[in-house]
Amino acid sequence: MRQILVVDDEIGIRELLSEILSDEGYDVQLAENAGAARTFRTQTRPDLVLLDIWMPDTDGITLLKEWASTGQLTMPVVMMSGHGTIDTAVEATRIGAYDFLEKPIALQKLLATVGRAITRGEQQPRVTAGLAVLGRTPVVQEIKQRLQRIAGNRAPVLLQGAPGCAFEACARVLHAPNMPWNAVDQDAQIVEAPLDLLQAARGGSLFVRDIAEFSRLEQRGLYVLLSQAERYNVRVICGATRMLSDLIAGGQFDDRVYQLLGANAIQLPQLREQRDDIPEIAGAMLKELVEQKLVPPRQFSTAALNALRTHDWPGNFSELRSIVQTLANTAAGEQISLEETQRALPRAAAPNAAASLHLDAPLRDARDAFERVYFEYHLAKEGGNISRVADAVGLERTHLYRKLKHLGIRISRKNDE
């Protein structure tokens, strides 16, 4: 049952909206002021919030700004006011509100707006809340500042980092609220119909996950897409798990694509470079999973968080999220213990695995050898389950199959569950 939070200081309006929406089959929760709404939001994520603007303790616009700045504006919010102005409605929409209803609210308009807002919320991919998941260490603060400086323009952006880094979380920081969001991997559309991808994201953002693995045909399609993005008012954000400059030097990547992306290139750190952030990041990931009702309510013990902080995390953010979700689903009680965390964390790679890497080999051969050890490690860790391996390493499954075939790693598709 979809849950709606009604925030209004007038008891008559709260009760009326509750009665109407409950009759329509919604689970309606009530808050008499911003303080009560704030408390409710810290505990769960409703599917929709109907938020009054004029309240005695904190006005609705201020609360909306607070949710947006703390990464809690992950659900559609419809503002309500009996004294609304066009300027107020525009300001609310700019901050991230889905729509604006003027009191007294007509029944049909209320139900139509609620229906559209909930549908929009369900269509938007739910991800960890913005800047909060990136951490606070100096290396991350510098990246946050760069992201915030370029957030207002529409120029394309290149995010470079190791597999599993926080590509999508950073891309989401650059995405304007309530605008279309489209994420693609290696895809036939990039080759055959790049303009269709731009049309689907018109006015919003197009996130391309890992262009470092693109074929020459896909690179040509990406060049067309980047060249035409301005016509569609689309911001293109590309991830790359290898340095494009190195690929260009080796004749593996189209320099024209890099010329369109290089002005806004940001290097992302690996998780091991921000160990002090790991407890906070793990807590934010767990909170998001609970809010999405993907896992039962859980919390980490201090000892469990310390164990996460000292782990090496070769798979970076993707690996951490996979472990957090596993622990939340398998923990015996509400608190995740140290023992449960230690059992869930993969053991360090065997010494002979590192010894098998020949450092005198050509770069391409050495990289293939490393990737072979890396993927064999994750396959063993996930019991051969390709879907979980793809999530852990941050690759789309089709791309993962292609990579494993290239490396000569034999797997059975029956494990893809």
Q: Where are the beta strands (DSSP E) in 67-165?
A: 77-81, 99-102, 157-160
Mean pLDDT of the chain: 87
- Whether 323 has a pLDDT exceeding 90, the answer reads yes
pLDDT of residue 411: 67
| CB-based contacts of 47, cutoff 8 Å, min separation 6 | 2, 3, 4, 75, 76, 118, 121, 122
Domain that holds residue 260: 130-267
Q: What is the pLDDT of residue 87?
A: 82
CA distance 365 to 120: 47
Q: Output the six-digit token pair for 389.
A: 């391996």
What pLDDT score was predicted for residue 359?
A: 66
List the structure tokens of 298: 């859980």
CATH, residue 395: 1.10.10.60
* Mean pLDDT, residues 376-397 taken together: 79
Q: Please state whether the peptide bond connecting residue 104 to the residue before it is cis, i.e. omega within 30 degrees of 0.
A: yes
Of 123, 138, 153, which residue constitutes the final position of a domain? Answer: 123
- 259-263, 296-300, 390-394: lowest mean pLDDT where? 390-394
User: How far apart (Å, rounded) are the C-alpha atoms in residues 315 and 407?
Assistant: 18
Domain boundary among 296, 318, 344: 344
Residue 215 in contact with residue 257, Cβ under 8 Å?
no
- Does the structure show a pLDDT above 90 at 266? yes
Question: d(Cα 386, Cα 384) in Å, to the nearest integer?
Answer: 6
Single-letter code of the amino acid located at 180? P
pLDDT at 231 over 90: yes
pLDDT in tens, 60-111: 999 999 988 777 888 899 999 987 677 888 888 888 899 999 999 999 999 9
Of 208, 239, 267, which closes a domain?
267
Average pLDDT of 243-252?
93
CATH number of the domain at 97, please. Answer: 3.40.50.2300
Specify whether 291 is located in the same domain as 375.
Answer: no
Q: Are residues 146 and 215 in the same domain?
A: yes
Write phi, then psi, for 30 (nearest 5 degrees).
-120, 145
Q: Are residues 307 and 399 in the same domain?
A: no
The model's confidence at residue 10, banded by pLDDT at 50, 70 and 90, is very high
**Structure confidence at residue 361 as a pLDDT band (50, 70, 90):** low
**Helices within 346-396 (DSSP H only):** 351-355, 363-381, 386-393
- pLDDT: which is higher, 232 or 372: 232
Quick one: 66 and 87 in the same domain?
A: yes
Q: Report pLDDT for 414.
A: 43
Same domain, yes or no, for 262 and 151? yes
Here the tokens at position 35 are 């303080």
Whether residues 42 and 101 fall in one domain: yes
Where is average pLDDT lowest: 5-14, 201-210, 282-291? 282-291
Domain count within the chain: 4
Same-domain pairing of 377 and 286: no
pLDDT at 15: 95
Residue 412 has pLDDT above 60, yes or no: no
Q: What is the distance between the alpha carbons of residues 124 and 132, in angstroms, rounded to a whole number?
A: 19
Regarding whether 242 and 168 lie in a shared domain, the answer is yes
Residue with tokens 């040509």: 220
Backbone angles phi, psi at 294, to 5 degrees: -85, -20
The more confident residue out of 252 and 153 is 252
Under DSSP, the state recorded for 176 is: P
The whole-number average pLDDT for the span 161-179 is 86
Contact 166, 284 (CB under 8 A): no
Query: Which residue in the block uniquely carries the two structure tokens 């290097």?
Result: 267
Reply yes or no on whether the pLDDT at 337 is more than 90: yes
Instruction: Tell me: pLDDT of 130 over 60.
Output: no
Q: 116 and 61 in one domain?
A: yes
Give pLDDT, residue 56: 86
CA distances from 181 to 166, 186, 190 (A): 17, 17, 16
The alpha-carbon radius of gyration of the chain (Å, integer) is 23
pTM of the model: 0.64
| Residue with the two structure tokens 């929709």 | 48
**Is residue 21 scored above 70 in pLDDT?**
yes
